[in-house]
Amino acid sequence: MATPPTGPETPGLADDSIEAVAARVSACTRCGLSATRTNAVPGDGSRSPSIMFIGEGPGSNEDQQGLPFVGRAGQLLDSLLRLIPVERSDVYITNIVKCRPPDNRDPYPEETAACRPFLERQIDLLRPRVIATLGRHSLNYFLPGARIGDVHGRPTRWRDIILFPLYHPAAGLRSSTLRQTLEEDVRRLPEAILRSLSLGAGAVTTDTTARAATPVQGAPASDLSTGPEPGEDQDRQRRLF
């Protein structure tokens, strides 16, 4: 296995476009996952997304198709997006690691480290207002040690972006209670974007070191969590994306 990069400095990556990052990901051999993948899964969606959804790593369907969240969890994600309502093409969807971990195991730290420069460059280029983490692994990339059960649906500031932790859609497939929680949390995303406008979010720095997030100053997480009721002013919501 090739040695993973130790930091964000991957030659040329800082100048790459989103398409060039995808091409690098597809050709990447920086960790052992490259040996077992069918296709790398760089990410997909809008070039100027309000929301960037970040999952853990591709599963079997994603590995076959080279696209993120195209299996059953992806179908649930699609139905969650329709609640807001947004299309896939309005958001960007990617993963912490871009190649499938065998048997869908958790990615190893060295695999996450190998992929880190790609994710950092994607965030820098796309400048999302909100990063919605999907599941524990993605949450802990941004907020080490945080517990999904404690922080889901509670917006937090990370750099100049609102971090919005969500349960993984696969959890919603296993439990109707968690599916309901996911739906309730997703309905609060538009409000998080509105808050990001007043915070100047989307102006991402080039500091590529992931660091712990902090609650938004002057806006307790509980306040930020109050979203529009279902059906309320959908036009206003649409204009956000």
Interface residue list for ligand URA (CB under 6 A)? 55-59, 62, 68-69, 73, 95
Residues 216, 156 contacting (CB under 8 angstroms): yes
Structure tokens at 132: 């919605």
Least distance between ligand URA and beta carbon 61 (Å): 7
Least distance between ligand URA and beta carbon 166 (Å): 11
C-alpha radius of gyration, the chain, whole number:
17
Least distance between ligand URA and beta carbon 220 (Å): 30
Least distance between ligand URA and beta carbon 33 (Å): 13
Which is nearer to ligand URA, 56 or 124 (by Cβ)?
A: 56
Which is nearer to ligand URA, 133 or 237 (by Cβ)?
A: 133
Tokens 């889901």 sit on residue: 152
Which is nearer to ligand URA, 55 or 153 (by Cβ)?
A: 55
- Nearest-angstrom CA–CA distance, 139 and 142: 6
- Nearest-angstrom CA–CA distance, 95 and 45: 13
Which is nearer to ligand URA, 41 or 193 (by Cβ)?
A: 41
Amino acid at 177: T
Least distance between ligand URA and beta carbon 98 (Å): 9
Which is nearer to ligand URA, 174 or 236 (by Cβ)?
A: 174
Nearest alpha carbon to residue 77 among 64, 92, 97? 92
Least distance between ligand URA and beta carbon 219 (Å): 29
Question: Taking CB positions, which residue lies at the least distance from ligand URA?
Answer: 55
Structure tokens at 94: 């990617």
Q: Express the helix, strand and coil content of the chain in percent, nearest 5 each.
A: 45, 10, 45
Which is nearer to ligand URA, 97 or 240 (by Cβ)?
A: 97
- Nearest-angstrom CA–CA distance, 233 and 241: 14
